[in-house]
Amino acid sequence: GENVEQHPSTLSVQEGDSAVIKCTYSDSASNYFPWYKQELGKRPQLIIDIRSNVGEKKDQRIAVTLNKTAKHFSLHITETQPEDSAVYFCAASFLSGGYNKLIFGAGTRLAVHP
């Protein structure tokens, strides 16, 4: 069935280090993969997304890579800062009954320590 698995569930890094969060999805037809960041007490907000026609996308300190053959995609944050501390959700699109919808991973709680 439709499923997105996300690892790790928690991640603790020192300021300046890199952080990597990985997701796998079940449907080979999925073609859109967004990442959302949710700060404490706030709403989720899109930080980066990638479509199936590209393998990598970068925006300043964040990047996402996609391996369609293996059905996994990853979020990379370089030079982490305390304000990167948040819960990060990956998602993948699934086509069901003619409608495209998102299935989210369970989330990764990232803590960046000064």
Partner 1 sequence: DADVTQTPRNRITKTGKRIMLECSQTKGHDRMYWYRQDPGLGLRLIYYSFDVKDINKGEISDGYSVSRQAQAKFSLSLESAIPNQTALYFCATSDPGTGVYNEQFFGPGTRLTVL
List of residues contacting partner 1 (CB under 8 A): 2, 6, 9, 31-32, 34, 42-46, 49, 51, 89, 91, 93, 97, 99-107
Q: How far apart are CA 103 and CA 105, in angstroms?
A: 7
CB of 57 to partner 1, least distance (A): 14
Q: Between residues 27 and 49, which has the closer beta carbon with respect to partner 1?
A: 49
Q: Between residues 80 and 89, which has the closer beta carbon with respect to partner 1?
A: 89
CB of 38 to partner 1, least distance (A): 9
Q: Between residues 81 and 100, which has the closer beta carbon with respect to partner 1?
A: 100
Q: How far apart are CA 50 and CA 76, in angstroms?
A: 13
CB of 51 to partner 1, least distance (A): 7
Q: Give one DSSP letter per residue of 7-75, joined into a string.
A: E-SEEEEETTS-EEEEEEES-TT--EEEEEEE-TTS--EEEEEEETT-SEEEETTEEEEEETTTTEEEE
CB of 60 to partner 1, least distance (A): 18
Q: How far apart are CA 45 and CA 28, in angstroms?
A: 26
